[in-house]
Amino acid sequence: MRRPAAALLALVLASTALPASAGTEPVARKPVEKTFLIPTEDGYGVGECLSGGPSECGQVVANAWCESQGFASAANYGVAAQDEYTGAIGDAAPVKSAPRPLRITCQD
């Protein structure tokens, strides 16, 4: 019984050993970005800050939103373009137009 246990232990230790990194450089991680669409009538009450163009208020709100979603900060924010959300492109029968959602792009 001792021999199989010792062989198993050696196998586990060999598989968890770190490879020698002599002469290799660490691989750079790609930055992660994610865009969130927030309905303007969602009840957050931040539409004025986010839809008015670049501002201190908008940046603070966008950064807080991104941090609450697990990201470092906001890369961009504003009113979503018409082609950025579902149902924005009109079809044969016009329907009641809803306000465009707000867009926040978060980054690591």
Q: Supply the pLDDT for residue 75.
A: 93
- Model confidence, pTM: 0.61
CA distance 70 to 103: 17
Angle at 53 between CA 49 and CA 54, to 5 degrees: 90
Per-residue pLDDT tens over the stretch 4-47: 555 554 555 554 445 555 556 777 777 789 999 888 876 667 78
Say which residue, 50 or 20, is predicted with more confidence. 50
Task: Give me the phi and psi of 73, to 5 degrees please.
Answer: -165, 175
- How far apart CA 51 and CA 37 sit, in angstroms, is 12
pLDDT tens track for 88-108? 555 655 566 677 889 999 999
